[in-house]
Structure 1
C-alpha cells in the first residue's frame, strides 16, 4: 500500500514538473513572439519614418528649386524691366517747371523702392546666396529689410564666431527663421522683434526669436482642430525635424511669443 502511495506521489510530482515545464515553454514562446512582433513593429515604424522623411525631404528640395527658379526669373526679367523703365524716366527731356516733373520724380522714387524690394526678395529666395554669405549675414539682411520699412523695431545680435553648417542645415535654419518672421508680421501685432544668434564653442547653435505681440495660448492651439494646420507651422517643424534641430515654441496671451531653435553643427 505504501509503495502504491509513493508511486502515485511520484507520478503527481512528475506531472506537476512536466506541467510547469510546459507552462514555462508556452510563456517563453509567447514572450519571444511578442518581442519579435514588437521588433517588427519598430522596424515598420522606422521604415515608415525613413520613408516619410525622404518624401518630405524631396518635397522641400523641390520647393527650394522652385524658389531658386523664381528668384532667377525675377532678377532676369522683372528686374531688368524695372531698370529699363527707370532709365527711360531719367532721360526724359523735362525741366523742373514742367507739370509732369513732380509726378515723374515721385514715380522714380516708387520705382527705386520697387527695385530695392525686388532685389531683397530675390536674395531671400536664392539659396546660393545663403551659402555664400553665411547664415548670420543672411538673417541680418532680412532684419535690415524689415528695419527699412519703419513699421516695426528690430534688434539682431550675434555672439560667437559662426561655424560651418552643412548647406542643407544652413538653408533649413534660414527658412525656419523666415517662416517665424512671416508669422510675426502677419499675426502678432508686435512693435518689436528681437533675434539673437549664439554660436557656442561646443558647436551648439542657438537661435532665439522674440516679439512683444499679442501672443496666444500654446496648449489651446496645440489641442485645437487648427493645430499645425497652417502650412507655415508644418513647414517650420518639419524642417527642424529633418535636420535634427529642437524647436521650442512658448507664448501667452498678451505676452508675446518666443521661439528657440537649437542645433549641433
Structure 2
C-alpha cells in the first residue's frame, strides 16, 4: 500500500518536472528566436541608415558639383568673352595709334573690364550674399522676404525674437540656403497665400519655423521623397542640415489649415 502511494505521489511530480522542463526549453527557444529577430531588425536598420547616408552624401556632392558647374559656366560664358574683348583694345599695336585713338581704346577696355568686375562680384554675391556677410541671418532673411513681397504675388513676413549673437558665418550661410530652398519649394508647389517665419532660441539650440497655408508635406512625405530619385531640393536641405548637426520636421497643423517646417539648429557642437 505504501509503495502504491509512493508511485501515485511521484507521477505528478515527474509530470510537473517534465512540464517545467518543456516550459524552460520553450522560453529559451523563444528568447533565442526573439534575439535573432532583434539582431536582424537592427542590421536592417543599420543598412537602411547606411543607404540614407549614401543618398545624402550623393545629394551633397551633386549640389556642390552643380554649383561649381554654374560658376564655371558663368565665368566661361560671360566673364571670358568680356576679358577677351578687352584684350583686343589693349594690343601692342596701340603704340602706333594716335593719342585720341589710344585714349578711346583704353576707355573702351576699361568699361569692359568694369563690366567683368561687376559680373565676378555678382557671382561672389550669389555664393555669400553681402547682407548676410555684413549684417547677419536676420537681415539677410528680411531682405530676401522684402524682394518676394515686392512681386505682390504672396504675403511673406518674418520675425526674429532673439538673434543677438550671430552663428558662425558658415553656419549662417547653410541656414540661409535651407530657408531659401524651403521658400522656393513653397512658392513653386504649394499655391500658398502667405508664408510666416519665426525664430526662437532654446537653451542649446535655435528654432526656425515656417508656416504656410498651401499644399505641404508631412514628415512621412519628406522621408519618402528624400529616399527617392526625385526631390533633389529636399535632399539638399537634409544634406546641408547634416553638416551643422541640424534637423528638420515637416508637419500639418491639427486644424489642417496650414503646414509648417521646423528647423532645429544646435548653437554649439563638436566639430572634431
Q: The TM-score by the shorter chain falls in which range? A: 0.5 to 0.7
Q: Are residues 1:20 and 2:20 paired?
A: yes
Distance 1:15 1:131, change over 3 A: farther
Distance 1:79 1:130, change over 3 A: farther
Who is 1:178 aligned against? 180
Who is 2:98 aligned against? none
User: Deviation of residue 131 (structure 1)?
Assistant: 9.2
The CA deviation string for residues 172-208 of structure 1, in whole angstroms up to 9 with x for no partner, is 543432222112322444454332333x151321212
Distance 1:189 1:206, change over 3 A: same
Counterparts of 2:150 and 2:124 in 1: how far apart (Å)?
17
TM-score (norm 2): 0.60
Distance 1:18 1:128, change over 3 A: farther
Counterparts of 1:70 and 1:80 in 2: how far apart (Å)?
14
* Comparing 140-149 and 64-73, the one that deviates more: 140-149
* Comparing 68-77 and 127-136, the one that deviates more: 127-136
Who is 1:51 aligned against? 50
User: Deviation of residue 69 (structure 1)?
Assistant: 0.6
Distance 1:136 1:70, change over 3 A: farther
Q: How does 1:167-246 map to 2 (within 5 A)?
A: 167=170, 173-190=175-192, 192-198=194-200, 200=201, 202-211=203-212, 215-216=214-215, 231=231, 234-235=234-235, 238-239=238-239, 242=242, 243-246=245-248
Task: Give SS of 2:215's match.
Answer: coil
Counterparts of 1:166 and 1:55 in 2: how far apart (Å)?
27
Distance 1:61 1:202, change over 3 A: same
* Comparing 71-80 and 50-59, the one that deviates more: 71-80
Who is 1:103 aligned against? none
- In the alignment, structure 1 segments of 5+ residues that lack a partner are 88-111
Distance 1:247 1:234, change over 3 A: same
- The answer to whether the 8 Å contact 2:137/2:176 transfers is yes
Aligned residues: 227
Counterparts of 1:76 and 1:50 in 2: how far apart (Å)?
39
- The answer to whether the 8 Å contact 1:130/1:171 transfers is no
Distance 1:67 1:232, change over 3 A: closer
TM-score (norm 1): 0.61
> RMSD across aligned C-alpha pairs, in angstroms?
4.6
Counterparts of 1:170 and 1:156 in 2: how far apart (Å)?
16
User: Deviation of residue 45 (structure 1)?
Assistant: 2.9
Task: Give SS of 1:208's match.
Answer: strand
Q: How does 1:1-265 map to 2 (within 5 A)?
A: 1-42=1-42, 44-80=43-79, 119=122, 123-124=125-126, 126=127, 135-147=137-149, 149=151, 151-160=153-162, 161-164=164-167, 167=170, 173-190=175-192, 192-198=194-200, 200=201, 202-211=203-212, 215-216=214-215, 231=231, 234-235=234-235, 238-239=238-239, 242=242, 243-250=245-252, 257-265=259-267
- In the alignment, structure 2 segments of 5+ residues that lack a partner are 87-114, 268-272
